[in-house]
Chain A
């Protein structure tokens, strides 16, 4: 029977099917971090359980770490306590741990791929909803809760009903300055923030075929923002070239064997999906969000829609515009910006810094802007230095911070103050996500750079 990429990976990982219940799914890779793992370890302890396969779990500190002075002790006692717990738990159970200060440290969804831990056809979970990032490699990757972290630690399995299947096709040619972030914000705006709930998405079509691995990760990362469990893209030559030579990638004979398998990981020509969507690349503009969920996005030349045009509930729509201090029919162009955040597992990879630098080069940071420029990992940080991007940033008046999740969830000190506007390359514009009262506009690294040098929301195409 013809099957989809998703079916192939899912079905090959089912240990047991429970009648009128979920499938027991075997997990190849499990990432943990300091925030969602401590209670899981406590659970293990109280039940007297062991970690079944410690070599399949990888720990990093990222959510709650400072992005300056990482060599100093962490000041906040609760944060320090969480970091310590991760270190102690990892050591106790024999789990690899790249803590603060480790040259491999970085955001969990950035370090997996860049070290070859993430490989095509794997099942990957982590107690963070943007685990969907790893789907860029043809993996079934999704976020889980802490009880499930405990499940995976103790049994390397998770119990999930098989989701329905959706394919999103984007064909045609993208216009100037249209990035993967714009593509995914466009799709979410079309589908709404709950439009893919219950589904697992496959992205297909020319646009994704031509996209770099960094770009594919940005797209898959945001799958959860349309409600999907995850999103995936079939591995191809771009994928294999990216993986080859990475530290933990297979080598020699093992590589050949793996490659032969990876090449089978695609949707058969006559396989069917529960639902398909088709979009034309030419319709996609640089995108920005105006509301408090990622589905509330629009092309930069468009005006904020009315509640009726936007769909969804009127009460939450009004609440949202109120919170943002925006009005129906406003143009986003020229809106005041106070903060710019470049970073997160959505846009914290080298390509994003290249894009940002291409606009700020030869220009100066606008005086009214506070900018947080945060690489996704130390590896990215090093690339930024090696490629001369740091010099461009410094000359334009920007400082580079140290890796971590930072203002993406604002658990550390990187909080946007109440009432202030931020153009952010992260993934969520929820109320208070970037700090209590913070007002977030999600956009691409180009848009962030354009705002950073002009001080207002600006169409990046004018600066390229």
Chain B
């Protein structure tokens, strides 16, 4: 078992209404030198979050105490670019368990699920509603219900369903991962390999 189970998450959210947030912004390459998965949250959005002298940039949302919570809400095309799983580790390590956007880059989305973060893809309209609700009241809570595949803005009652395949859903709700699954397939893989050309 690789991570905590995910079922229903009720939390305030941090709004990052920027599009095309790439993984080089989520965690810049110079912080990828560790050989252990530890402490990446400190450098999450490093260059947006801190000045060169390491003082926090006041206008960046993570530095605004008004916003907090376990849900990160990002603009369209979130997580593009590098395959670095360190980006998902940084998001997780910082304390987020769910990322909401209207569109995710493929590798980042996979990486999230593999480390126990739920990526929730909503419509463009619903994303705007979320941003508006948080803007109106930073203490607005969102409810992400994985078993029912539903995300709700609790203050307004607006809700939308989201997609996830049954296999991944099962993994997340039970805290299993792909390696657990593949380990049970050992013989099947061995016999497949025998037929392989390479």
Contact = CB atoms under 8 A, between A and B. Distances in A.
B36 A194 contact: no
B167 A18 contact: yes
Interface residues of B, number: 58
Interface string A69-85: 00000001011011001
B193 interface: yes
A147 B85 contact: yes
B29 A293 contact: no
Interface in B12-36: 17-20, 22, 24-25, 28-30, 32-36
Given A78-B33, A197-B103, A293-B20, A15 B197 contact: no
A293 B177 CA distance: 33
A92 interface: no
A410 B196 contact: no
A193 B20 contact: yes
Interface string A101-127: 000000000000000000101100001
Contact of B198 (A119, A157, A409): A119
B58 interface: no
A252 interface: no
Interface of A is mostly: loop
| A: contact size bracket | 35 or more
A29 interface: yes
Interface in A408-437: 409-411, 418, 428, 430-433, 436-437
A241 B145 CA distance: 55
Contact of A194 (B32, B77, B85): B77
A433 B82 CA distance: 10
A432 B106 contact: no
A254 to B, nearest CB: 10
B59 interface: no
B165 A22 contact: yes
A251 interface: no
Interface stretch (B107-115, B134-142, B153-161): B107-115
A273 interface: no
Given A26-B196, A29-B198, A431 B35 contact: no
Interface stretch (A31-39, A165-173, A205-213, A389-397): A31-39
A16 interface: yes
Contacts of A197: 77, 103-106
B148 interface: no
A412 to B, nearest CB: 9
Contacts of B115: 147
B66 interface: no
A52 to B, nearest CB: 7
A430 B81 contact: yes
A437 B28 CA distance: 11
A255 interface: no
B25 A411 contact: no
Contact of A155 (B47, B81, B183, B196): B183
Nearest to B28: A432
Given A15-B188, A159-B182, A411-B33, A21 B167 contact: yes
Contacts of A227: 77, 80, 105-106
A146 B88 CA distance: 10
Contact of B166 (A15, A19, A313, A410): A19
A430 B24 contact: yes
A312 B20 contact: yes
Nearest to B181: A159
B32 A35 contact: yes
Interface of B: 2, 17-20, 22, 24-25, 28-30, 32-37, 47, 52, 75-77, 80-86, 88, 103-107, 110-111, 114-115, 165-168, 177-179, 181-183, 185-186, 188-189, 192-193, 196-198
Given A56-B198, A145-B83, 13 more contacts: A22-B167, A26-B189, A39-B35, A43-B179, A129-B81, A144-B83, A144-B107, A155-B182, A197-B104, A197-B105, A316-B20, A428-B81, A431-B47
5 contacts: A53-B193, A82-B35, A145-B111, A194-B20, A430-B22
